[in-house]
Amino acid sequence: MFFQLFLCFVSSLSTIVREFLSEMAHWISVLKIYMENTLQTKEIFSKKENLPCIALLVTTVEETPQIISAKIQGHFPKWLNGCLLRIGPGKFEFGKDKYNHWFDGMALLQQFIMEKGTVTYRSKFLQRTYNANGIHNRIVISESGTLALPDPCRNVFERFLSKFELPAMTENTSDNYVRYKGDYYVSSETNFMNKVDIETLEKTDRTFYFPGSFYNVIRVPPEKVNLGDTIHGAQVICSISSAERMKPSYYHSFGMRKSYIIFIKPLKMNLWKIVTSKIRGKSLSDGISWEPKYYTRFYMVDKHTGQLLPGMYYSKPFVTFHQINAFEDQGCVVIDLCCQDNGRSLEVYQLQNLRKAGEGLDQVYNSAARSFPRRFVLPLPVNLNAPEGENLSPLSGKVWCSYENLHSKDLEEQGGIEFPQINYGQLSGKKYSFFYGCGFWPLVRDSLVKIDVVNKTLMVMKISFLFEALKRPVLLFEIVSIMFQVALRFFNIQAAQPLTFTRFENHGFT
């Protein structure tokens, strides 16, 4: 009896061992394919020297609340009518306190009105956070890269206890203009959006949304039903949970086409570090980290049902801030992105780095990550029975995605490309041939680039005196008008035809 049990045990054990070895062999073959795709050619960049100093772009400017007329040199087309809105950081110190990061500067709203050959200009700082700091003549509200220090008038014990007080939330939304239901808001990487009157540049309301270790995609109806409608009627169409509750991913934007939402998780946010930042004497950005041990994951969501698709799409680690376009083609979702292989680009934009000159600035630029356009193809539906050797992994519905470069070597000379734009009204979610973006040769955008994604060629428009001209608003407008007129030819638009734009939103420099 014992001998029979022993033989049965040995037989079962041998079966388990055979299955285990077979499974290991299967995993090794898949892992080999997996690693071959991971080791794609790494971008190698030539080093730059004698870069122009860009310190003028990160110096404090004064607001111009009263409308002034711009002095126009040359001819300004009378058919060009509209309002150019810009927002960006414009003040970097209060008293003896100084901000550490470019993105921490106080939001300056700028307005150019073009009408019948004339141009007027005005600018105002976004209130509340700006006012709170100004009243005390020091930084009293922390920003992402700058921690507000305790009140120096307090004694040692009070300053210590202040570390455990809840920090005031910044409302310094300095990144971008967005339009919802006909209303204009300014937004940033915070939990607030501020509604502004684009005629007076005054803040009229604010919208708050709750953070957490999950991601909500929200649908806002495009138009108002009546004048009393607000953004508060928005609807959450899907929620994506974080793989690690205390380490959700930072994201800047997501891709979308007619049927699907494509959500990508790159950088990590350590919630424990963020919550304890004030106690530890660190800024909030200390909790954002680049962890290349995690592969980048693509999430596919059915836009109509809000349900996650079962397939899991992975790629080698990269960071993306802006999507170019997404469309369906032959049973696949194609998504084009501006990608970086190094997630430490936010650290580069410390003010002490941007204000360097000579070899110091060259060193900063040569160590910075470059952003280049890449194409990923996500198969739909995932064929879990595909034969080995294809780019579909049969393991638990996982798909390993490699990319196709959408650029030639010439783009390296422009420092890569960011802030991509297409004709969204006609080509969003559809096959397209071209996109436009900004070159980043001296760490900031200095050129306009047009890329042919089919032939992988590019055209570049650059104005050499851009940095000196950005020092004053009047010269800034001269640059804007020159670039716009050159862009008409660049984009093959006939300048003789009537062209009127009512609003043009963009975020940018002061």
Are 298 and 264 in contact, with CB atoms under 8 Å apart?
yes
Going 335 to 337 to 340 to 344, the CA torsion angle's sign is negative
At 460-488, the pLDDT tens digits run 887 655 554 444 443 344 444 444 444 54
Mean pLDDT of the region 29-34:
42
CA distance 420 to 92: 28
- Quick one: pLDDT at residue 479? 45
Least confident of 5-9, 170-174, 244-248, 294-298: 5-9
pLDDT tops 90 at residue 400? no
Q: Which of 34-38, 183-187, 388-392 has the highest mean pLDDT?
A: 183-187
- Quick one: pLDDT at residue 35? 45
Supply 401's token pair.
Answer: 């995605």
- Quick one: pLDDT at residue 334? 92
- Neighbour tally for 488: CB within 10 Å: 17
- Quick one: pLDDT at residue 227? 62
At 207-263, the pLDDT tens digits run 766 555 678 787 877 776 666 666 766 778 888 887 777 888 887 888 877 778 887
Are 439 and 447 in contact, with CB atoms under 8 Å apart?
yes
At 101-140, the pLDDT tens digits run 999 999 999 998 888 888 889 999 999 899 999 999 999 9
CA distance 206 to 193: 6
At 68-79, the pLDDT tens digits run 988 777 777 778
- Quick one: pLDDT at residue 37? 43
CA distance 263 to 254: 5
User: What is the separation of C-alpha 86 from the centre of its chain, rounded to a whole number of angstroms?
Assistant: 17
Are 264 and 314 in contact, with CB atoms under 8 Å apart?
no
At 415-457, the pLDDT tens digits run 889 889 888 888 888 999 999 988 877 777 778 889 999 999 9
E strand or H helix at 97, and its extent? strand 97-98
Question: What is the 8-class DSSP label of residue 276?
Answer: T
Side-chain-side CA neighbours of 362 within 13 Å: the count stands at: 8
Angstrom CA distances, 5 to 18, 19, 274, 324, stand at 20, 21, 59, 65
Are 316 and 292 in contact, with CB atoms under 8 Å apart?
no
E strand or H helix at 230, and its extent? none
**DSSP of 130-153:** HHHHHHHTS--S-BTTBPPPPPTT
Least confident of 47-61, 103-117, 388-402: 388-402
Arithmetic mean of pLDDT over the chain: 77
List, in order, residues 6 or more apart from 133 with CB less than 8 Å away: 94, 106, 139, 140, 141
Mean pLDDT of the region 384-390:
54
- For the chain, the residue count is 510
Q: What percent of the chain has pLDDT over 90?
A: 22
Report the b/e string of 176-201 with b at 16+ CB within 10 A: bbbebeebbbbbbebebbbbbebeeb
| Confidence (pTM) | 0.78
First and final CA of the chain: distance in angstroms? Answer: 89
- Quick one: pLDDT at residue 473? 41
At 339-359, the pLDDT tens digits run 998 888 888 889 999 999 889
At 312-321, the pLDDT tens digits run 888 999 989 8
At 33-45, the pLDDT tens digits run 444 444 444 555 6
Mean pLDDT of the region 42-70:
81
The CA-CA-CA angle for residues 124, 129, 135, to 5°, reads 90
